[in-house]
């Protein structure tokens, strides 16, 4: 046994040494070059390559586009094992740029398996469809309908040579199958976050024999129309976040009842938007804008995504009621600008205009109307889709996923956009699935607590009956009792 272990270690060291010295490596038919990838303000060492695909898979003579791939070798070589392919969210985020945010979550899996980051067509470095905003468009101001229409029209003109209708989920799934073939693997372990779970599930539905395992972090059910329930999901998460303060004596004493402050601020903004002076969070410049209920909704929504930011909501609401909307408007400007820079808005429109807007029902709109978010996202997308190319989706696109592929589903109990009951819904339709829920957490949870260990074990063994005591006993951050955290 010791001789076998020593030989295995020696072979692994030789393999790692060859990677360390090389400037290019070959994986199947794909050549990767040493590179420094970047995302979330961080850089990391990797191997970068491209694969060319037809823009229109129905016309093999159509324009070719280069898809950006990033290869992260396993830290210990186990031979030719199936890689983990990571699919980013949005829709509109690139995997290469998003990876630092989930790197820890895949760290255990990466010990024995390589990771492939695939920038979906239209995102990252794969023919990115980033719309250049007009200098006249101020994100701190509420855009008029004419400005929203013009934004889509300008973006379409910017990409006049691009067949925009072919940047959908099914196009991306077909791309991924071609990438698998080019890499020379029989199967892939497919991991997705948020919208990436929609693509992951669709790939598994179209190419079940090519899918070894599925990892779905903060998933979207395959039969759910995007945007149909955003407002109701956000309201439910906010209500529970504020309840955490209402039942905490220290938080309640410092901030008062945050639900009352929340209701008062909503009513005030709904009745009369007010012009507010605020500091630009990036430049420090003093600016002025009309504070609306939509700005308030943006801040509440984006801060609710993560437990590390959601814990400040009671204090923020209390201070806003006392001191005015300056901080909220500054946050709205900063968060909106940051989000727009991360999302390839043109690709997002290609997905929504083909896959969502034609399938939203009147009852969905009516149910969203009285939520904090209201129908602003629906209307924003609806207007732009009037100027955006689209195509019919496959007849089975919105069918419930049913397969026996080993599937691990991860949820945060207070996720404001893909609530935990979505994960339960997916699990109940599958024959080999496990659903792990982290209490008190929000959106994208794979890097939290013991989940990286569970993911690593799952990728290795395909075990969907893991012991999850560490998940059941998880304790999230308690709500802040004041502006500096947990004050005495």
Mean pLDDT of 406-427: 98
Cα 200–chain centre separation: 13
**Structure confidence by residue, pLDDT tens digits, 38-58:** 887 789 999 999 999 999 999
DSSP label of 359: G
Checking if the pLDDT of 78 tops 80, the result is: no
Which pLDDT does position 40 carry in this prediction? 76
Mean pLDDT of 150-170: 96
Mean pLDDT of 458-471: 95
Can you give the length of the chain in residues? 488
Mean pLDDT of 180-196: 98
Checking if the pLDDT of 307 tops 80, the result is: yes
Q: Please, which pLDDT band fits residue 1 given cuts at 50, 70 and 90?
A: very low
Which pLDDT does position 481 carry in this prediction? 82
Q: Please, which pLDDT band fits residue 132 given cuts at 50, 70 and 90?
A: confident
Mean pLDDT of 302-322: 95
- Preceding peptide of 91 cis, ω within 30°: yes
Q: Please, which pLDDT band fits residue 324 given cuts at 50, 70 and 90?
A: very high
- Burial readout 51-64 (b: 16 or more C-beta within 10 A, e: otherwise): bebbbbeeeeeeee
Q: Please, which pLDDT band fits residue 488 given cuts at 50, 70 and 90?
A: low
Which pLDDT does position 484 carry in this prediction? 75
Which pLDDT does position 424 carry in this prediction? 98
**Structure confidence by residue, pLDDT tens digits, 10-24:** 444 444 445 567 789
Judged by average pLDDT, the poorest of 202-206, 336-340, 395-399 is 336-340
Identify which has the larger pLDDT, 148 or 47: 47
The span from the CA of 17 to the CA of 19, in Å, is 5
Which pLDDT does position 3 carry in this prediction? 40
Q: What is the largest CA-CA distance in the chain?
A: 78
Q: What one-character-per-residue DSSP string does 234-271 give?
A: HHHHHHHHHHHHHT-HHHHHHH--HHHHHHHHHHHHHH
CA dihedral 450→117→14→22, nearest 10 degrees, is -150
Share of the chain above pLDDT 90, in %: 79
The span from the CA of 53 to the CA of 83, in Å, is 21
Judged by average pLDDT, the poorest of 58-62, 125-129, 200-204, 405-409 is 58-62
Which pLDDT does position 342 carry in this prediction? 87
Domains of the chain and CATH, by start: 22-131+161-226+398-472 (3.40.50.1820)
Which pLDDT does position 141 carry in this prediction? 62
**Structure confidence by residue, pLDDT tens digits, 83-104:** 999 999 999 999 999 999 999 9
Which pLDDT does position 137 carry in this prediction? 54
Mean residue pLDDT of the chain comes to 91
Q: Please, which pLDDT band fits residue 429 given cuts at 50, 70 and 90?
A: very high
Checking if the pLDDT of 262 tops 60, the result is: yes
Judged by average pLDDT, the poorest of 56-70, 107-121, 276-290, 380-394 is 276-290
CA dihedral 292→293→294→300, nearest 10 degrees, is 120
The span from the CA of 160 to the CA of 472, in Å, is 52
Using DSSP's 3-state secondary structure scheme, residue 437 falls into strand
Mean pLDDT of 25-34: 97
**Structure confidence by residue, pLDDT tens digits, 282-301:** 788 898 889 999 999 999 99
Checking if the pLDDT of 2 tops 60, the result is: no
- 224 to 145, 167, 343, 418: CA distances (angstroms): 27, 19, 21, 11
Which pLDDT does position 139 carry in this prediction? 55
The span from the CA of 441 to the CA of 464, in Å, is 22
Identify which has the larger pLDDT, 140 or 485: 485
Share of the chain above pLDDT 70, in %: 94
Mean pLDDT of 401-416: 96
Which pLDDT does position 341 carry in this prediction? 81
Which pLDDT does position 431 carry in this prediction? 94
């Amino acid at each position: 046994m010791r001789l076998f272990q020593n030989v295995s270690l020696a072979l692994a060291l030789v393999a790692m040494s060859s990677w360390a010295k090389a400037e290019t490596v070959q994986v199947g038919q794909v050549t990767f070059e040493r590179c420094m990838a970047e995302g979330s303000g961080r850089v990391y060492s990797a191997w970068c390559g491209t694969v060319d695909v037809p823009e229109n898979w129905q016309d093999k003579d159509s324009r070719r586009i280069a898809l950006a791939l990033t290869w992260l070798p396993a830290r210990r070589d186990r031979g030719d094992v199936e890689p983990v392919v990571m699919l980013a969210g949005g829709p509109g985020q690139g995997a290469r740029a998003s990876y630092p945010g989930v790197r820890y979550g895949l760290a255990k899996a990466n010990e024995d398996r390589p990771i492939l980051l695939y920038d979906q067509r239209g995102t990252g470095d794969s023919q990115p469809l980033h719309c250049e905003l007009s200098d006249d468009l101020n994100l701190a101001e509420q855009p008029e309908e004419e400005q929203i229409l013009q934004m889509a029209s300008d973006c379409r003109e910017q990409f006049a040579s691009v067949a925009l209708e072919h940047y959908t989920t099914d196009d991306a799934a077909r791309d991924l199958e071609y990438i698998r073939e080019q890499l020379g693997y029989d199967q892939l372990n497919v991991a997705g976050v948020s919208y990436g779970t929609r693509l992951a599930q669709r790939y598994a539905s179209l190419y079940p024999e090519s899918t070894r395992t599925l990892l779905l972090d903060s998933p979207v059910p395959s039969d759910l129309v995007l945007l149909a329930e955003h407002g109701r999901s956000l309201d439910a998460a906010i209500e529970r976040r504020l309840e955490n303060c209402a039942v905490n004596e220290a938080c309640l004493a410092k901030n008062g009842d945050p639900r009352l402050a929340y209701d008062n601020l909503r009513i005030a903004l709904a009745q009369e938007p007010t012009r507010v002076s605020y500091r630009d969070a990036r430049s420090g410049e003093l600016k002025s804008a009309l504070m609306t209920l939509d700005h308030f909704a943006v801040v509440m929504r984006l801060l609710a995504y993560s437990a590390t930011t959601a814990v400040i909501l009671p204090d923020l609401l209390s201070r806003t009621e006392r001191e005015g909307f300056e901080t909220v408007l500054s946050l709205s400007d900063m968060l909106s600008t940051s989000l727009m820079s991360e999302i390839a808005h043109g690709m997002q429109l290609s997905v929504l205009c083909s896959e969502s807007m034609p399938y939203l029902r009147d009852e969905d709109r009516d149910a969203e109307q009285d939520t904090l978010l209201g129908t602003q996202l629906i209307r924003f997308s609806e207007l732009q889709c009037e100027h955006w190319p689209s195509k019919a989706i496959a007849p089975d696109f919105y069918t419930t996923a049913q397969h026996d592929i080993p599937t691990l589903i991860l949820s945060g109990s207070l996720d404001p956009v893909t609530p935990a009951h979505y994960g339960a819904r997916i699990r109940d339709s599958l024959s080999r699935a496990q659903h792990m829920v982290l209490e008190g957490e929000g959106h994208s949870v794979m890097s939290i607590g013991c989940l990286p260990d569970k993911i690593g074990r799952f990728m290795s063994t395909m075990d969907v009956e893991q012991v999850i005591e560490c998940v059941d006993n998880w304790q999230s951050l308690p709500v802040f009792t004041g502006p500096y955290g947990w004050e005495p």
